[in-house]
Structure 1
Amino acid sequence: MMIARIWHGKTSIENFGAYTAFLKKVAVSDYQKTTGFKALSFLRQIKNGEGHFTLITYWENLEVIKNFAGQDIEKAKYYPEDNNYLLEFEETVQHFEVFAS
């Protein structure tokens, strides 16, 4: 059964556009080259004076997520450049079975 992996991050409004560009350039290609990856949706909004990003990636199953995230698939994966943009680093992600799409 396909799995959705959901991550959330937030930036200042000043970094909203730059982080969007970074994600498009680095993260999207990183996901696309990972074995077991199916698709993704990057969502963004400005709320309460901050830029919020939600990433939903779709995977063949839980096991293949290790190809991207490592052995502990519950742990959020960050890039070194995230230090330049993110206001905080959430430690975990959520996984859901996709039962319809």
Structure 2
Amino acid sequence: MPTEPTIARIWRGRTRPENADSYEAYIKAEGIPPLEKTALGVQLFREDREQESWFTTISYWSDLQSMTAFTKGEPTKVHHLDRDPEFLIELPAFIQIHRILINRQGLR
């Protein structure tokens, strides 16, 4: 099994600005830890706009099989957190899965 990621799984969701701080704390506590235990890496991004705040989670996987095992056989299905309907403006309908073609870090 490769130790370098070959697959990135990308989820995006948005909240109203007044819910953004609470959702950030929630996703850090409930959404990120399972990925930290299983994926090769995970990143959480937040973009605050005037009318909404966007959250993007990218998890990195060695191969499609390891990601499929984590998602219980449905890698493109969105697995919503219990409180997502409370926080999110709309529930995301899909996950993006990308093959990693170049993975360079530490460039100056």
Instruction: State TM-score, norm by structure 1.
Output: 0.89
Which piece of structure 1 moves more, 61-70 or 91-100?
Answer: 61-70
Q: How many residues align?
A: 99
Query: Which one of the candidate residues 37, 57, 60 is aligned to 1:58?
Result: 60
CA displacement 1:4-58 (0-9 Å, x = unmatched):
0011100011110001111111111111222xx1001111112241010111110
Q: Distance in 2 between matches of 1:96 and 1:26?
A: 24
Q: Which one-letter code corresponds to 2:13 in the other structure?
A: G
Aligned residue type for 2:58: I
Aligned counterparts of 1:60 and 1:22: Cα–Cα separation in 2: 27
Q: CA deviation at 1:78?
A: 0.7
- Structure label with greater radius of gyration: 2
Structure 2 residue runs of 5 or longer lacking an equivalent are 104-108
Q: Does residue 85 of structure 1 match 2:59?
A: no
Runs of 4+ with >6 A deviation: none
Q: Report what 2:6 is aligned to.
A: 2
Whichever structure has more strand as a proportion of its residues is 1
Question: Which sections of structure 1, spanning at least 5 residues, go unmatched?
Answer: none
Give identity over the alignment, percent.
Answer: 28
Aligned-residue CA RMSD (Å): 1.4
- SS of 1:32's partner is helix
> Which residue identity does 2:49 align to in structure 1?
K
Instruction: Assess if the C-alpha contact under 8 Å between 2:10 and 2:97 holds in 1.
Output: yes
TM-score by length of 2: 0.84
Q: Is the 8 A contact 2:30 2:81 kept in 1?
A: no
